[in-house]
Structures are given as C-alpha cells and as structure tokens.
Structure 1
Amino acid sequence: MNGTPALVNDVMTHQVVALRAGAAFKDIVKVMREWQVSALPVLDDAGRVVGVVSEGDLLAKEEYQDGGIGRYGQVRYPAGARKADAVTAAGLMTAPAVTVAPEATLAHAARLMARTGVKRLPVVGRDGTLRGIVSRSDLLKVFLRDDEDIAEEVRREVVVRLFGPRAVTVRVEVRDGVVTLAGGVRETALVPLAARLARAVPGVVDVHCGLAGPPRRPDLDPDLPEADRTPTP
C-alpha cells in the first residue's frame, strides 16, 4: 500500500448495478435477487447518485399492504406511508444518498457507515457520478494483509521516520495483525506516538508497545552531594 492510508478506491467494487428513477418495483426486487445485494443506488439522467433503494424501503409495501397504516400512521410515519404507495425507484428511494469519495480513507468510510447505520455506500466522484460501491465486507479486506507486509510498513513509516535509520535496536514483530514493538530508544517522548502511528497502519489489529529508554546508571549513594561523588584524580 506504499505507506499511504488505504483508500476507498483500493477496496470498492467498481462494477455496479444501478437504477433509474423510473425503475418499477418488481424489477428492483428482481435485480436485487440477481445481484445478491441489499441496496441499489438510483441515478439521474446525468449518472449522478440521487438516492438509494434498500430492502427496507421495499418492505414498507409488505408492512402496509392491507392499508392499515391509518391516518395516525401517515402523520407519525410519513416516509413509510409514502413508500408503501410507491411503485418506482423515485418514490421508494431514500434521498439524499449517503455517499463517499473514492479518495476517502477506510476509517472515514467506516465512521460514516456507523454514524448513518448503512451497510453500503455509493462511491461518487467530484461531479456526483457513480464510481463504485463500498460495503462493510470491503472495508474488512484490509485485515487480510500479510503480517510481513504490515511489519515492513511499520518499520519504514513509523520506526525509521521517528527514530532515524539507525534505530536498529527497535524490533518489529507482527502476528495475526497484532504488532509488537520492542527494544530501546533514546527519544522516550516519542514512544506513545510510535504506538499510535503503528495502530493507524492499514491491517493492524492491535499494538503491544514495549519500547523503553536507555538504561539508567545506578546511583550508588544518592544521599551524598554531587561533588562528593566525583572521584579524585
């Protein structure tokens, strides 16, 4: 990953099926089943993402199929009442769509999913046109990274950058994505930063930091003044 944060563009699905606003209800269900997806982006005539239709949007039709939503329900749940009567993507979709840019980091995409409660994000360019889809499972791909690949990036981007190319006393070990930093360093103030930067490397599951400063010389007689502890020539 060349020492840079993993981006949405690195893991997203580039081949995406999308809907037009006029797509019919049954056609939407068929497409979801055929492509085995739980949500589909809706595009305008220019290819810009204007909304998303999910399985939840479609289920409103089943939930209120007997017309039992009532007047109270129409006031309390206007979106559900509207979607229950909808027959095309334009009426079913949730808008505006929650989207993410291809150059966004995986951490940003994960926070966006968690905050909005969605499982898939349309990936859009600066002009709003659809570039791909990123899902929760896509974000987890980074944890399939080889341990040695992770270790090399930690050495290069964390250890060498913080402690210099001569930091040969620092050992970096990675097992199942868990990074262990051990050894001695002179700049002990940088140890917390090293642990934090290592944790931010794509694919890292956890960090165990055992870095320590140089050993202190024993103070044989701390009660004596400094002058009295200086050997006579």
Structure 2
Amino acid sequence: MHAKVKDLMTTQVTSINDTAPFKEVAESLITHQVSALPVIDGERRVIGIISEADLLHKEEFKERYYRENYRPPLSTRLRHRLSRKGGDGRAKARGDTAAELMTAPAITIQPHASIVSATRLMIEHGVKRLPVVNADGLLQGIVSRHDLLKVFVRSDPDIAHEVDENILRHSLWAEPNTATATVTHGIVTLSGHMHRRADTHLATRITQRVNGVVDVINNLEWDVDDDPAPTKR
C-alpha cells in the first residue's frame, strides 16, 4: 500500500472567505475546534491560511500601559525573518479581515502527492497542516501531521503480507529466493536466502518505503557477493 494524501486527508473542511471580519474568523475557529482555517476567494481557490496565532497578534500588540512600545522577543523576530511563516505580527495586529490576517500564499499540496512529499513540505515550512487543492487551486481537503501519523498504525500482518507478496516474491529476484518477512511493532525483519548480495540490499531499501514500516532489519544470506557495500551479518 502506497498511501497518497487523498487517502488520509479530511474532506469536510471548514474554510473562511477572504472578506470575513475578524470576529467571524475567531468564532469559526472556536465553533469548529480547529487551530487554523484555509482562506478562500469567491471561487473556492485557496489564497492563504489563518491560524489562532494570527488572531492573537491583536492582543499581543495592545498596550498594557501608556507608551509601552512593546517589541517581540529577538528569537521570534529572527524566526519570522528566516521563514515564510508568520509574517509581520504588528501589521496583522491592525488587520480586520481574513485577507489582512492570513499568512499568504498558503503552502498547499495536491491529492495524489505522496505522504513523503507532504511530510517534507510540513517540515521544510514549519507548518502543521496543508490545504489540499486540485490543479486549479480549488480546496479539496486538508491534511495534518495527525493524519500523516495514521500510516504507522497499519497492522503488522498487513505489512508482512505486502512485503512477502509484493516485494520478496517479485520476479525481479534471481533464484534461489527463500526470503521471508516478519513484522513486530512495524519493524520488519528479513530472513532467509537470496542469490546475490546486491539483491538483499535492494530488498531492504524497497521494504523501507512501505507505508507503516518503522525500521528494517536485514538478516538475509546470499551466495554471490556482487555488492561492495558493507552489510550487517
């Protein structure tokens, strides 16, 4: 099973129009118990994303006393300067509509993208969720870090069956091939015998790509040492 974003995303998405006033945005976040909302235009194209943090700038920059002249901590200013995320907090504090409060452009992904691609995008941009859009930029769903973790709750027997049937029994391998897979808590142990040492390394690498695999232990034996790469025996 090679899960795609479409297999894990939430399709019932709460979004907000770019013209929505501040209080409507706050009410939507609270009512739907979400921490962020995709911001869409009149044609449901995603043009940004708005989070709880974006709204809290309104309180952050309020004066506690006369002429306080508050500035965010240096670490916060540097983080915003080095990334696309966040933007100018003081400017957002003056915002009254979703378009003025949102972070734009939104980091988005398409439904048929791989889980690896989604994970790398989140880590690269430091975001916790990605609006899912089609080729025209229209909102299709949203995928979160929580959603991506679902690949790791796949059952051990299901993983073992895929590795045995779709990888180890594949016609790619030369005979003899008596390799088998056992799985415990997502950790796959490859045992048995393959003809070439290079095949054992390739089988390990392909198994590592299977959704739900936490790690791979290569206990395979071979006849022909045609791969100079070191291996654990």
Structure 1 or 2: more helix by fraction: 1
> Pairwise mapping of residues 38-187 of structure 1 onto structure 2 (< 5 A)?
38-66=35-63, 79-161=88-170, 162-163=172-173, 167=177, 169-187=178-196
**Large movers: runs of 4+ above 3 Å:** 67-73
| Deviations 1:184-203 (CA, angstroms, capped at 9, x unpaired) | 11121111111111011000
Tell me the residue number matched to 2:28.
Answer: 31
Tell me the residue number matched to 1:209.
Answer: 218
Unaligned runs of 5+ in 2: 81-86, 226-233
> Pairwise mapping of residues 8-27 of structure 1 onto structure 2 (< 5 A)?
8-27=5-24
Instruction: Name the CA distance, whole Å, in 2 between partners of 1:69 and 1:94.
Output: 27
Instruction: Name the CA distance, whole Å, in 1 between partners of 2:175 and 2:55.
Output: 58
Tell me the residue number matched to 2:231.
Answer: none
Instruction: Name the CA distance, whole Å, in 2 between partners of 1:86 and 1:178.
Output: 49
- Structure 1 pair 27–171 and aligned structure 2 pair: CA distance change class (3 A): same
Report the residue type matching 1:194 in the other structure: A
Report the residue type matching 1:29 in the other structure: A
2:201 matched to 1:192?
yes
2:29 matched to 1:6?
no
TM-score where L is the length of structure 2: 0.84
Which structure has the larger Rg over C-alpha atoms? 1
Report the residue type matching 1:95 in the other structure: A
Report the residue type matching 2:8 in the other structure: V
Deviation (angstroms), 1:101: 0.6
User: What is the Cα-based RMSD across aligned positions, in Å?
Assistant: 2.3
Tell me if the contact between 2:176 and 2:193 (Cα under 8 Å) persists in the aligned partners: no
Deviation (angstroms), 1:72: 8.2
Report the residue type matching 1:120 in the other structure: R
Which stretch shifts more, 27-36 or 102-111? Answer: 27-36
Instruction: Name the CA distance, whole Å, in 2 between partners of 1:182 and 1:6.
Output: 26
Which stretch shifts more, 32-41 or 90-99? Answer: 32-41
- Structure 1 pair 165–99 and aligned structure 2 pair: CA distance change class (3 A): farther
- Structure 1 pair 215–194 and aligned structure 2 pair: CA distance change class (3 A): closer
Deviation (angstroms), 1:214: 3.3
Tell me if the contact between 2:17 and 2:41 (Cα under 8 Å) persists in the aligned partners: yes
Of all paired residues, the percent bearing the same amino acid is: 47
- Structure 1 pair 166–188 and aligned structure 2 pair: CA distance change class (3 A): closer
Aligned partner of residue 213 in structure 1, secondary structure: strand
Aligned partner of residue 207 in structure 1, secondary structure: strand
Instruction: Name the CA distance, whole Å, in 1 between partners of 2:13 and 2:224.
Output: 58
Instruction: Name the CA distance, whole Å, in 2 between partners of 1:204 and 1:7.
Output: 16
Tell me the residue number matched to 1:228.
Answer: none
Instruction: Name the CA distance, whole Å, in 2 between partners of 1:165 and 1:214.
Output: 11
Aligned length: 210
Tell me if the contact between 1:69 and 1:81 (Cα under 8 Å) persists in the aligned partners: no
Tell me if the contact between 2:176 and 2:195 (Cα under 8 Å) persists in the aligned partners: no
